[in-house]
Amino acid sequence: MSPKIPFLRPSPPPLSQAIDRLQEIESSGVYSNFGPKNSELEQQLLATFFAGRGRCATVCNATIALMLALKTVAEDSPPQRRYALMPSFTFAATAHAALWAGLTPIFCDIEPDTWLPCARSETRILEQYGAEVAAIVPYATFGAALDLDRYVALSKRFDTPVVVDAAASLGTLDPAGSGFGTGFPFPVVFSMHVTKTFASTEAAVVYADDAGLVARLQTMSNFGFGEARHATMAGLNGKLSEVAALAALLRLDGFGQIVDRRRELYEHYRERLTGFAFQRPTAHRQAHQFVPVLTPRGADVEAVSAALSAAGIGHAAYFRPHLAGQSYFQKTCIAPPTPVTDDVSARALALPLYDGMTEAEIDTICDVLDAVA
């Protein structure tokens, strides 16, 4: 039985309503390899989210984009630098990307209120492993804004580059009101997967203020062809098709209203669910992909989940188990103790959010939660 209220209801821009623009692709005869729709998308993303500063490169998805960014920084590092410092409280793609780039993840803990990487935990690990860390890889948890100035300082202090997993943060404004990432010298990776707030089909964008770095990464995404059909560096195929670029371009129309409406819905949850803990906001405006909450202490998260399922309400366990508890990462990564992550993860529940959701649907969900927790 499909749930009465789904966890997510993907609503990418309807390509069927954009026949004329699909025909433009067909008559251009260009379907990929950095075609005109892709160029238009890169320009519009840069203008919309990054004040026209620096450079954007599209990639087929954020996992490949993270691989490209991590491979680029790994290639620049001496071989003894073989670790990637990242939180255990993130999606599997962050660790997979580091492993594909030849780096071993070391997991740090998170802050108890923002669920962002813990500054003390990161510093402690860098003091211990600093000379062997190739990249600091913070995750902008659930679309939050990281304090990027702190990462610039950390990078200088430990002479280590940064790659930001901002998969869910396209549309997030930092405390100064700029698009999250604007002006940052290192790669910031955003997903435009259909389940993210910026829902297209499958796509991603890498941004950095350092245009040369983004250009190298883009060359890497085209088989490392620094010269015509001549590999001058590591490479793979990470290019975005023209149809996928068009879907992302269409999502730009009215995107600000989508983010604002999702924020209203999120706030409605917050007002209703007083017994649950919400992420402490760090952004001027956060793009909300779904609604992560922590069940009240003492409540049984599995009982809460069962009650939601019985009522036909979709939900998910982001991130339980966290990376250190997943069998592949137990074999391949370094996992110092992460007590805060253990606690947050054990209580984490992600509640429904989608374009077109109503306050009445949220009330239905909250009534179920009130009755059980």
Selected from 167, 273, 301, 373, the binder of ligand PLP by CB under 6 A is 167
Q: Which stretch binds ligand PLP (CB under 6 A): 57-65, 69-77, 150-158, 263-271?
A: 57-65
DSSP H or E run through 349: strand 348-351
Residue 189 or 265 having the CB closest to ligand PLP:
189
Buried b (16+ CB within 10 A) or exposed e, 150-162: ebeebbeebebbb
Query: Does the footprint of ligand PLP cover residue 94 (CB under 6 A)?
Result: yes
Residue 191 or 241 having the CB closest to ligand PLP:
191
Query: Does the footprint of ligand PLP cover residue 258 (CB under 6 A)?
Result: no
Residue 118 or 204 having the CB closest to ligand PLP:
204
* Cβ partners under 8 Å of residue 44, min gap 6: 249, 252
Q: Which stretch binds ligand PLP (CB under 6 A): 69-77, 91-99, 212-220, 355-363?
A: 91-99
Q: Binding pattern to ligand PLP, positions 115-144, x when CB under 6 A?
A: ------------------------x-----
CA distance 185 to 178: 15
Query: Does the footprint of ligand PLP cover residue 93 (CB under 6 A)?
Result: yes
Residue 110 or 204 having the CB closest to ligand PLP:
204
Residues 261-320 contacting ligand PLP, CB under 6 A:
none
**What is the nearest approach in angstroms of ligand PLP to the Cβ of residue 98?**
11
One-letter amino acid at 152 equals V
Q: Which stretch binds ligand PLP (CB under 6 A): 32-40, 58-66, 218-226, 241-249?
A: 58-66
Name the site residues for ligand PLP (rule: CB under 6 A): 61-63, 90-91, 93-94, 139, 165, 167-168, 191, 193, 204
